[in-house]
Amino acid sequence: MHDSSTTSAQKLNRLVRPAAWPWLLLTTVVATILTSGFTGFTNGFTSFTNGFTSFTNELVSFTSKFTIPPNELTIFTNDLTRVPLIVLAVGLAFTITFGVLRAFRRVNLNCEVEGPNANWHSLIRSHWPGVTQLDSVWHVTEQRATQTPYHQKINAGADYIIHRQRVKVALSPHARVKSNLGLPTFIDGKHSISFLPDRILVRSGSSWSYHDYSDLRLSCHRQRVTEPGTGPDNSQRVGKTWQYANKNGGPDGRFKNNRELSVVLYGEVKLITPTGFCWILQLSRPETAATMTTILQAHPSLKTVTR
């Protein structure tokens, strides 16, 4: 057991919320400039008042009792010149304080589980080094079919074009998230998916959410992927193609610098839920992808899986 979903998600959202210190710094600079301008205006007004006071003292002697002595005006002016420095010092103090507090902010996701969930999580953690040792793990963010024969030709004869991001394999969803257990995690920039003992923790930008394993649907299959060069070291090379390929798969001689590409075999894992959550992962070893899928399917609360 750990914090409720709502409470811990709120803590995580605050953790990745855009920093406030840049706005504090900007406010400090603007306030300093404005107070400097106001001080300059006050100094000019004071000089004018001093001149006007001297003039009226010479013309009308009785007005001297209504005037402010010049030395008092000087003291007042000197005090005003310190205002921008005070504003700057206070603003910088607040900015540094907020920055330091943010840097040291931590969220604890301590898990106290026993029974089937604990055994299952121990199993996935024990197999996680095999995932971390992969040369390539990708998060597929978009996949679409090639629209015309020309598009197919200039994309190495591929039937589909995919957009993907390289994934970091870790045991924590964030550098400032601490847990008493290692939490197997795939991280794609500001997006991640972490496998907790009883729930799945998902980050999408500045928002965190939980998903139940009972809602998870999994599929795993082998996928041929075109890679530059020879492909990842631990992947299986099953063929070759060219950047500009003919219909028969050979190189199109009309294009110069027509690179030879490798066709390698990946394991593609799809994780989806009825609420719209979807992650597609490509792992450079199909066997590792199959093992990971089997372990996820073995979670005690997981429903029937569609393959």
Task: Name the more confident of 247 and 177.
Answer: 177
Token pair belonging to 159: 């039937």
Residues 59 and 206 in one domain: no
Residue 220 and residue 254 in one domain: yes
pLDDT band at 36 (very low <50, low <70, confident <90, very high): low
Whether residue 253 lies inside any domain: the answer is: yes
Q: What is the mean pLDDT of the chain?
A: 76
pLDDT in tens, 188-207: 999 999 999 999 999 998 88
Q: Which residue has the higher pLDDT, 24 or 249?
A: 249
**Inter-CA distances, 267 with 95, 170, 171, 199, 289, Å:** 48, 19, 21, 24, 5
**Strand residues in the chain grouped as ranges (E):** 107-108, 137-145, 160-166, 168-170, 177-178, 185-188, 191-195, 199-204, 207-212, 217-228, 236-242, 260-272, 278-283
Residues 73 and 144 in one domain: no
Under a CB-based contact definition with an 8 Å cutoff, are residues 264 and 232 in contact? yes
Please check whether residues 89 and 175 belong to one and the same domain.
Answer: no
Last residue of a domain, one of 72, 103, 134: 103
Tokens 């429903």 sit on residue: 303
What are 226-273's pLDDT values in tens digits? 888 888 888 888 888 887 877 777 777 777 788 888 899 999 999 999
Beta strands in 198-235 (DSSP E): 199-204, 207-212, 217-228
Residues 207, 291, single domain; the answer is yes
Q: Are 91 and 156 within one domain?
A: no
Whether 138 and 279 map to the same domain: the answer is yes
Confidence at residue 125, expressed as pLDDT on a 0 to 100 scale: 95
Tokens of 305: 């899986």
User: Do 125 and 218 have their domain in common?
Assistant: yes
Q: Residue 135 is which amino acid?
A: D
Residues 215 and 140 in one domain: yes
Q: Characterize 161-176 residue by residue with b for buried, 16 or more Cβ atoms within 10 angstroms of its Cβ, and e for exposed.
A: ebebeebebbebbbee
Answer yes or no: do 40 and 152 share one domain: no
* Same structural domain, 138 and 27: no
What's the confidence (pLDDT) of residue 211? 93
Q: Is residue 11 part of a domain?
A: no
197 and 119 share one domain: yes
Band of residue 15 on the pLDDT scale cut at 50, 70, 90: low
Q: What does the pLDDT read at residue 105?
A: 63
Residues 6+ apart with CB under 8 A from 193: 185, 186, 200, 201, 202, 203, 271, 279
pLDDT value of residue 73: 46
Cα 290 from Cα 271, distance rounded (Å): 13
- Is residue 303 assigned to a domain? no
Residue 222 has pLDDT above 70, yes or no: yes
Number of domains in the chain: 2
Lowest mean pLDDT among 24-38, 188-202, 276-290: 24-38
Type of residue numbered 201: L
Looking at residue 294, its pLDDT comes to: 96
Q: How far apart are CA 6 and CA 207, in angstroms?
A: 12
**Span 178-195, mean pLDDT?**
93
Q: Compute the half-sphere exposure of residue 269: CA atoms within 13 Å on the CB side of its CA.
A: 25
pLDDT digits (tens, 9 = 90+) for 44-71: 545 555 555 555 555 545 444 444 455 5
Whether residue 126 is contained in a domain is answered as: yes
Is 10 part of a structural domain of the chain? no
Residue at 14 is within a domain: no
User: What is the predicted pLDDT for the residue at 307?
Assistant: 37
Domain that holds residue 65: 21-103
Who wins on pLDDT, 162 or 215? 215
279 within domain boundaries:
yes
Q: Which of the listed residues 78, 103, 128 is the one where a domain comes to its end?
A: 103
Residue 110 in any domain: the answer is no
The predicted structure's pLDDT at residue 1: 45
- Residue 17 pLDDT greater than 60, yes or no: no
